[in-house]
């Protein structure tokens, strides 16, 4: 069997490939169509197949993917917030390795998160002869045309002129997008870099009421249906071709504003949040039905997941309200499942996500995978599937889990993973998880408790003085170590009992940063410096004695 030139290399941070598989060996006689559905803020426990008795929402379509395919119980995103999580998915590279993006205005006016020269999922599939489509929330930045040549914002963007750099430049033949989230202006669609409709209105929606430029006919509760309709049309057209296709459907729900279509209002047992999750789940059903109608179910891999955990400001009220998710928990629904924490945090509830794959004839129906996988692994997995040879510089943090999909009884290849909250980092290695921060790794009014600044102040008080440097942070009370096998709720901090393990994991984490990659291959360079403790509040270094 021919081996790829880098597939059996070892690297310093204890990453081991138990089986070397050539991309040519894994390529089927006819490359499959691939559909990836990414929900926004959908929690592990929002899906009945994952949440079990703690889920009070009917999700028959996501559940069917699990029943007809494989359910992954230890799947994670790299970041518990939208942009960096999606960056890692799109590029197979940890977001922390990229430099600062281009300047832009607020919300959907964000500048490019990475240059158009970046290798992406779209480009990979195009090079393999696929027709590529992206429909839904983009949130990876654009370069818009402005009337004054300045940094794009709500006042100077020229909506009569095409977007200069957007989805087409990142490898998508067909696209219909919203630049940011559904509660982030501009509220206007763009098709293949051209704005859709007349942008003459000012609108805002329930959650945060961010008022900004909008097209005249843009209505929040119609967005999900519009994206699904665009995806259905793409499937119908591509089914007429002999070439395979890749479809990335990035749903805008159940992220705020909690705006279910009228036919879903009052459908769930727990209020409007449940209605919106049901609306989201129905989108999966529509896509599966479109594949069946086109007669291509048997030749198509369908995957569905989320970009991170649920925001605790979502719940029965349309207005974003801190911790209102706990009202649903009191009624028996846990959007974060059995895990601790929510969006923005480094606890499991912020980054462990529901993930399922259906591939008739390849993935065994009703199978369950308990191995660690990351959404950053999708690029390498799909590359192996379609016979695409990634270069040594492409997808440096992506590791194929195709053997797991095929049920080869091979233990999971990924052994470690870097996970980031908005105010802290974590490092997973086997069953162990090291938090390089006190508290939840999140801050602000929507932080998971303990909030970052409060936790840092408490740690300094316990330590008895301000630390002198970062090296001094590599001990209690600035660290948290959990064994997820014995303590899935992350309740017992073992950092003080396991100093050798802490040192070993810190060394591994530093190696991943220094090597510029977490897959086998030559050392690469990061675009900016990264510390294992980041960010550290400035007051931490202020002398207290």
pLDDT more than 90, % of the chain: 92
User: What are the residue ranges spanned by the domains of the chain?
Assistant: 23-28+35-414, 418-541
* Position 28 pLDDT exceeds 60: no
What tokens does 259 get? Answer: 């705006």
pLDDT tens profile 378-391 = 999 999 999 999 99
* Position 20 pLDDT exceeds 50: no
Mean pLDDT check: name the lowest of 27-36, 134-143, 492-501: 27-36
pLDDT tens profile 484-498 = 999 999 999 999 999
Per-residue CA distances from 393 to 23, 154, 232, 290, 361 (Å): 17, 37, 35, 37, 33
What tokens does 194 get? Answer: 């051209």
CATH tag for 23-28+35-414 (out of 3.40.50.720, 3.40.710.10, 3.40.190.10, 3.40.720.10): 3.40.720.10
What tokens does 52 get? Answer: 């079990």
544 pLDDT band (50/70/90 cuts)? low
What fold characterizes domain 418-541?
Arylsulfatase, C-terminal domain (3.30.1120)
Give the residue from 368, 386, 407 showing the smallest Cα distance to 126.
386
Q: Where are the alpha helices (DSSP H) in 389-469?
A: 402-405, 452-463
pLDDT more than 70, % of the chain: 94
pLDDT tens profile 51-61 = 999 999 999 99
The reply to whether omega before 229 is within 30° of 0 (cis) is no
pLDDT tens profile 98-123 = 999 999 999 999 999 999 999 999 99
Average pLDDT over residues 271-277: 98
- Do domains 23-28+35-414 and 418-541 share one topology? The answer is no
Average pLDDT over residues 297-304: 98
β-pairing, 300-306 with 367-369?
unpaired
What pLDDT is recorded for position 29? 54
Q: What is the pTM of this model?
A: 0.94
Average pLDDT over residues 268-293: 98
Mean pLDDT rounded to a whole number for the chain: 93
pLDDT tens profile 423-433 = 999 999 999 99
Average pLDDT over residues 364-379: 97
pLDDT tens profile 241-262 = 999 999 999 999 999 999 999 9
């Amino acid at each position: 069997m021919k081996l790829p030139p880098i597939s059996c290399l070892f690297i310093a941070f204890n990453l081991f490939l138990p089986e070397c598989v050539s991309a040519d060996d894994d390529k089927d006689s006819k490359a499959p169509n691939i559909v990836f559905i990414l929900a926004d803020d959908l929690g592990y426990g929002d899906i009945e197949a994952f949440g079990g008795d703690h889920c009070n929402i009917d999700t028959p379509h996501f559940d069917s993917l699990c029943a007809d395919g494989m359910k992954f119980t230890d799947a994670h995103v790299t970041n518990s917030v939208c942009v960096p999580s999606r960056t890692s998915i799109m590029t197979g590279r940890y977001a922390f390795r990229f430099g600062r993006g281009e300047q832009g205005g607020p919300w959907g006016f964000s500048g490019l998160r990475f240059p158009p020269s970046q290798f992406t999922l779209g480009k990979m599939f195009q090079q393999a002869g696929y027709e590529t489509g992206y429909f839904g929330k983009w949130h990876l930045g654009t370069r818009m045309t402005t009337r004054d040549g300045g940094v794009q914002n709500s006042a100077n963007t020229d909506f009569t002129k095409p977007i200069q750099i957007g989805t087409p430049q990142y490898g998508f033949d067909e696209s219909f997008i919203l630049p940011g989230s559904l509660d982030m202006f501009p509220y206007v669609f763009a098709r293949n870099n051209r704005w859709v409709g007349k942008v003459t209105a000012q609108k805002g929606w329930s959650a945060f009421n961010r008022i900004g430029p909008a097209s005249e006919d843009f209505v929040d509760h119609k967005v999900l249906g519009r994206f699904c309709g665009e995806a259905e049309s793409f499937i119908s057209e591509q089914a007429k071709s002999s070439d395979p296709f890749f479809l990335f459907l990035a749903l805008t729900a159940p992220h705020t504003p909690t705006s279910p279509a009228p036919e879903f209002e009052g459908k769930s047992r727990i209020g409007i949040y449940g209605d919106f999750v049901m609306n989201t789940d129905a989108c999966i059903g529509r896509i599966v039905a479109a594949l069946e109608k086109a007669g291509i179910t048997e030749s198509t891999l369908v995957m569905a997941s989320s970009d991170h955990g649920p925001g605790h400001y979502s719940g029965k009220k349309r207005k974003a309200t801190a911790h209102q998710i706990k009202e649903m928990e009191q009624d028996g629904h846990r959007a974060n499942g059995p895990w601790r924490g929510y969006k923005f945090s480094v606890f499991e509830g912020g980054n462990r996500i529901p993930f399922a794959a259906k591939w008739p004839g390849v993935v065994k129906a009703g199978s369950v995978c308990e191995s660690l996988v990351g959404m950053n692994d999708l690029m390498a997995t799909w590359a192996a599937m379609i016979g695409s040879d990634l270069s040594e510089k492409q997808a440096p943090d992506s590791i194929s889990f195709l053997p797991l999909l095929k049920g080869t009884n091979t233990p999971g290849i990924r052994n470690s993973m870097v996970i980031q909250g908005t105010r802290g980092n974590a490092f997973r290695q086997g069953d162990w998880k090291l938090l390089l921060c006190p508290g939840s790794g999140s801050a602000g009014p929507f932080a998971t408790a303990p909030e970052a600044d409060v936790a840092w102040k408490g740690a300094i008080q316990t330590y008895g003085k301000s630390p002198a440097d970062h090296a001094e942070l590599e001990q209690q009370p600035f660290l948290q170590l959990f064994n997820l096998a014995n303590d899935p709720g992350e309740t017992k901090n073992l950092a003080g009992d396991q100093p050798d393990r802490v040192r070993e994991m810190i060394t591994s984490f530093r190696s991943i940063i220094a090597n510029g990659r977490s897959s086998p291959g030559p050392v690469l360079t990061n675009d900016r410096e990264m510390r294992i403790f980041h960010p550290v509040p400035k007051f931490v270094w202020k002398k207290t004695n």
